[in-house]
Every structure is written in C-alpha cells, then in structure tokens.
Chains A and B, each alone.
Chain A
Amino acid sequence: MERLPAFELKRPTSLAQAIEWLAATPEARAIAGGTDLVPNLRDGIGAPPVLVDLSRVPGFDAYEIRTAGARIGAGVTLARLASDAGVAAALPAVSAAAASIAGPGHRSVATVGGNLCVDTRCVYYNQSEWWRKSNGYCLKHLGDTCHVAPTGTRCHAAYQGDLAPALIACGASVELAGPRGTRTIALEDLYRDDGLAHLALEPGELVVAVAVPAQPRGAMSAYRKARARGAIDFPLAGVAVRLAVDDGRIAAIDVALTGTNSRPFRLAGTAAWVGRAVDDGLLAELGKAVQKQVSPMRTTVTQSNWRRQVASVEAQRLVRDLAKVAS
C-alpha cells in the first residue's frame, strides 16, 4: 500500500472539541481504531486534511450492562466486547458478532462506533489507487459510472459490518452528538440504502453510544456469517436472529441482515409469525422473505445469487437452532 496522505492529527480531550474540529473542516474525518479508515486512506480513497482522533474523548469507552439493558460507548473496543461475560450472557448475538470481526490485532483497537460506521465495500472500490485508476474510477470515488451496474445512477457497494445486524435484532438505538445537539435514533435508522452515503449522520455528527433495551423474557439471540476466509473476513452475508418461544409458539422474532445491501436492515414482516410454531412451513416462509428482501449485487468475487441463498439458509438455520434450544 501507499504511505498515508499528509494530514493534521487532532487529539481532542472533550466531545465538544471533537465535534467542533470535525465541523470546522468539512473534509475532516474521525478516526477511532483506524482499522477501516487507514487501509482506505492508504489506498488513496480520500485525503482528509484533518483527522480527529476519538481515543482521548472522556467517557467514549464507558460501558454498562445491567438486567435493565446495556449502554455501550462508541469507543469500547471489539476485544473488550467479545470477551465480556455479561454481553455473552445477555446479548449472545452481539458477542458472537464482535468475536467474528477481523483478527485479534484489529479487535484490540477497533471500536463499536467505528464498526457501526464502517465504509461500504466493493471489488471495484477496495483496491489500490493504481488498480482503480487503470480500471477506470467508479461512481463511489472520482468516477462517473458504476462498474457493477453501469446503466444505473447509484452505487451498490455493500455494507459489511458485523455488529449492526446483531444490535438491530436486539432492538438497539444509537446516541448521536453533533453541532446541533444530541439525538437518539433506532440503529436501523442510522443507515440508508445508498453505497455512496450509507450513514444518516449530519456533518460533524458522531455516534456516542449504543443503547440496548432489556431483552424480552426468554429471548435468545445468535449471529452467523458466511465469509471467504474463515479466520478473518467481512461477511458475504450475515444474519442475526432474536427469538422468544412460549409453549412451542413464537412469542417474538427479529431478524436483521448485513453484507447483502448497502445498509444493514431489519427483515420486514416477521410480526406475522408470532403465535406460529417453528416448523418446515414457517422456515420456508422465512427463507423466501429473506431471498426477497436482500439485494446482493456483484460487489464481491462471490456470486450474488449465492449470497442471496446463503443469507436465506443462515436465517433458517439460526431460527431452527434457537427454537431447538428453547424447547
């Protein structure tokens, strides 16, 4: 890879200062663990004049997990999240997702906020500067055509972060802070299905923390991902499920997906399955719903239809296995 472009590193010691510095320079970028941002900058994707380092913002790594719910600071590292027994017990999908992200040398510094805000990915984008230049730049950076869908006008780069689906399935919301104050939104509303601008953050706005409510009585959750390289890799398709079963019938079911669209999203229509038994008929409906709602494009070297089918099968396996444990 290339050397990093020249930038000034700002190291704020308060949240207000971080926001001020980000807002003062429109091209400035926040850096948390840097495990997504640094490779992209080294690939020549963007040359921000200023990087605002979030590692010294007090309270950013605060962390609370109680029966009434959890509040996880944006600066909490994935290593800490993955090794926390409280998270593993209360939010197993989140724990499994955190443990599956990249390798130990990444997770020791990579953060919850950085993972939620990870850039979208594409085989035509995550390449060196000379590769992209030789091939012809694309819509997402410097170019005017999308090489995946040349007749269209949008970028289909896939969102491939792992934590988001697990947190969405567990009902999480995110606390944001920016130049215009603070707000809390449902985590799924942080995302837009647009590979160019997948985050609904205002200029200078930061993710401060994730809040997860108390989980419904008897609910269990799990996460699975399909990837090319078993030890470290982004999900080609990732699925999180939270399921509560009462007397053999579904009491609550939430499914969320990553890797297949430009945003992680909650599967629509699951409420209709409440009261049903987890049987072959239900699993077939679930599989169909997933196949219909995902829209993988040729942004990975793996075929898009394979990703569609794998997403569907992963969802079925998760629901079947969780239902088995519940009975």
Chain B
Amino acid sequence: MAKRVLSFVVNGRLREEAVGDSTLLLDLLREQLGLTGTKRGCDGGECGACTVIVDGRPQLSCLTLAARCDGAHVETVEALAAGGRMSALQAAFHEKLGTQCGFCTPGMIMAAEALLRGNPAPDEATIREALGGNLCRCTGYVKIIEAVQAAAAAGGGR
C-alpha cells in the first residue's frame, strides 16, 4: 500500500505518522494513536459515533482519509478535559443524564462542541439540527438536548 508521512496536530500536539493512503482517520486515531475515545459505531457514515473536529468542523472519521488530514488540526473527545476536570459540556452530559451506555457520547459531545464554538447560545431547533447525524439507542435524545442546553447556559463548551 502506498504510504506517506502525515504531519498534523492531534489534540494540540504536533505529530508525524506514517500512514497508508487508504487508512481511515478513525483507524489512525484508534489503532495507531490509541485514542479510543472516538467510537466505531456503524463504521459507514450513518451514526455519528466517530465524529471528531477537523479544522473546527465536525467530521465523520470513518469516512475521512487520514492522508487528507496533512496539515490539519484534529480534535477528539480526549482533548476536552483539562487538568483532570471535565469540560462544561462533558459535565452537563454527566449531570443531566445525557449519557447511558456511553457509546454515542463522544460523537454527541464532539458534534455539540463544534456547534457551541460557532454558536454559544443555540435554540433547541439548532441543537437538534446539529446533532441530527448522531444516533443514540439509549437516552431517547431528550436528556442529550437538555445537556447541551445546560452547557450553553453554563458558558459554552468550555
């Protein structure tokens, strides 16, 4: 397989990684970098569990060629907690019961994080729209929406 050296920033740290041209960002993150917070759900663009933030935009890592992230800033759920403390958004998911089995949670949180950075006070319709690509089989979504609203009220994603 054709390989290349990819130079990109992951969670604030500059990295150089040898990747195959047909390696997916999801596999690079989970298998090569050990960042298993990003989940493999449907593994085909349908569920949002693998959502990460690339250059400020929510992106599905299961559909993203790693080689195209050369020079990019990639953020995963591991980037959010600082000094052992959860971010406002993470804390809100915890407190509002926006997470049950937790499998969808990293993708939900990254999609919500991308939203709140651009729009710190979204209305409910906007939150639903931003999370429209993320499936959850446990919560029924209501608690997830409430968690994002609570995080926004508490001053955004941070």
A55 within 8 A of B: yes
Q: Could you tell me which residues of chain A, from 208 to 250, have a CB within 8 Å of some CB in chain B?
A: 231-232
**Docked-complex contact A105 and B21, CB < 8 angstroms:** no
Q: How far is the CB of A327 from chain B (nearest CB, A)?
A: 29
**Docked-complex contact A9 and B67, CB < 8 angstroms:** yes
Q: Could you tell me which residues of chain A, from 30 to 53, have a CB within 8 Å of some CB in chain B?
A: 31, 34-35, 38-39, 42-43, 51, 53
A8 within 8 A of B: yes
**Docked-complex contact B132 and A232, CB < 8 angstroms:** yes
**Docked-complex contact A108 and B58, CB < 8 angstroms:** yes
> How many B residues, CB 8 Å from partner?
32
Q: How many A-B residue pairs have CB under 8 A?
A: 88
**Docked-complex contact A105 and B65, CB < 8 angstroms:** no
**Docked-complex contact B48 and A105, CB < 8 angstroms:** yes
Main secondary structure of the interface of A (DSSP, over half): loop
Q: Could you tell me which residues of chain B, from 108 to 134, have a CB within 8 Å of some CB in chain A?
A: 111, 114, 129-130, 132-134
* Bound Cα distance A1, B2 (Å): 21
> How many A residues, CB 8 Å from partner?
29
**Docked-complex contact A34 and B133, CB < 8 angstroms:** no
A5 within 8 A of B: yes
Chain A residues contacting B2 (CB-CB under 8 Å) are 6-9
* Bound Cα distance A58, B43 (Å): 31
Chain A residues contacting B68 (CB-CB under 8 Å) are 9, 11, 53, 55
Interface residues of chain A, those whose CB is within 8 Å of chain B, are: 1, 3-9, 11, 31, 34-35, 38-39, 42-43, 51, 53, 55, 79, 102-106, 108-109, 231-232
8 intermolecular pairs with C-beta atoms under 8 Å apart: A1-B42, A6-B21, A6-B22, A8-B21, A9-B67, A38-B45, A38-B64, A106-B45
